[in-house]
Structure formats: structure tokens, C-alpha cells
Amino acid sequence: MSEIELKRANVVKRVDSEDKAKALEAKGFVRTDGTVANKTESNAASEAVINELKEQLLKAGKVIEASDARRGELEKELTSTKEKLEEASKYAEEADKKIATLEAELSGTKEQLEAALKKNKAAEKKKGGTAMTKEQEDWLVAEVMDSMKMSETEERSARRYVKRAVDKILIYCNRDDLPEQLLSTAAQIAEDMLKADLVKTGEKEVASTDVVDRLLVF
């Protein structure tokens, strides 16, 4: 038996049996020597192959279409995410600027407060305020009132003279505090100042500065 020649597109094949030729025809090959055994079967096979290819092409088109749709959704999500990141970045940048501004203002306020405290402290020191504790003041007032036989209604006056006496001691001694050793001296000065201001006799009154000089001689 002579060979049978079959062709599909630019591919040419030769087989030596009818069964092989039919198998190739089922794959879309066509006989070129005019010896097609069953042209109807060959055409049917070709149509089946074509239909299958069409179905595969249709499925591939749907897959591509779905992929394109999904890609569009992902691109939208990506764009939205980028916009949100940009907004967050701007917000963070603005927040950093505000924090820096607040820190600068706080630093300036802190410096002003420290300067004010130093100024007030210097002013108080310069003014020479009574640097005695509340306990010391109360003890001195009680001591003076008891020694001078003063009534409770005269406590305000006694307290005023105690403060004046302590001020004089601090200024005289160039101190910012009142040592415990000078409490009795402060009480005596306050009593002498009261006597000098309250007792009016023909004798010369004792000046308060003289009292300080006299009592602080060691």
C-alpha cells in the first residue's frame, strides 16, 4: 500500500495505513492525494476540534475579562490606599509642627517662669523680709506677750513688733534666716521696742537701733 499524504496548515505528514490517516484527520489533517476514505468523518472531526478550540477561546476570554475586572478593582484600592497614606503623612507632618511649636512655647514659658522666680527671690532677699518659721514667730509672740503682760487683743501689736525686731537682727547680721540662738535676743529687742514706744517718761527714750547694738554684743 502506498503512503497517504495529509496536510494541516504548513505541516505535511505521510502515513502507511488507513488507521493512521484517520487518526490524523481527526486532528484536523486533510489528505492531499485525493484518497480520503471517509470525508464526512474527517469534516466532523475537524468541526469538533474547531468547536473545542472555540470553547477554550471563550473560556480564556472570560478569564481575561474577570482578570481585567479584578485588576481594575485592585488599582482602585491601591489608589485609595495611596491617597489615605498621603493624608496620614500630611496629618503627621502638621502634628509634628504643632508639637514643635508647643515645645518651643513651653520652653519659653519655662524660661520666663524661672526668670520670674529668680527675680522674685532676689527681690525678697533685697527687701529683707522676715526669714523666720511660723513656729519661731508664734514662740516669740507668746514670749513677748507673757513678759509684757499683754492681753489677747494686743496679739496683733506684739506680732508686729516681733517682725520688726527680727528684721533688724537679720539686717544687722546680714543673714537670711533666724538662728535658734537669737530667739531670746529677738524677744528682748521686741520687748524693749514696745517699752520705748509705750512708756512715756521724762527720761530719754531708748532708740531701737541702740537696743540692737546693745543686745548683739558678744
* pLDDT value at residue 209: 46
Average pLDDT, the chain: 81
Pick the more confident residue, 32 or 130: 32
* pLDDT value at residue 22: 92
- Bridge partners (DSSP) listed for residue 5: 14
**Confidence band, pLDDT 50/70/90 cuts, at residue 114:** confident
* pLDDT value at residue 47: 76
* pLDDT value at residue 87: 87
* pLDDT value at residue 202: 32
Quote the percentage of the chain above a pLDDT of 90. Answer: 38
* pLDDT value at residue 90: 85
| Model confidence at 115: pLDDT above 70 | yes
| Model confidence at 43: pLDDT above 90 | no
Residue 183 contacts residue 140 (beta carbons within 8 Å): yes
CA-wise closest residue to 27 among 11, 10, 42:
42
- Helix (H) and strand (E) counts for the chain? 6, 3
**Maximum Cα interatomic distance, the chain, rounded to a whole number of Å:** 173
* pLDDT value at residue 138: 94
Q: Taking residues 130-150, report their average pLDDT.
A: 89
**Confidence band, pLDDT 50/70/90 cuts, at residue 205:** very low
30-34, 130-134, 183-187, 210-214, range with the lowest pLDDT: 210-214
**Confidence band, pLDDT 50/70/90 cuts, at residue 140:** very high
DSSP string, 34-45: S--S-HHHHHHH
Packed helices 208-215 and 155-173: angle between N→C axes, nearest 10 degrees = 60
84-98, 114-128, 141-155, 201-215, range with the lowest pLDDT: 201-215
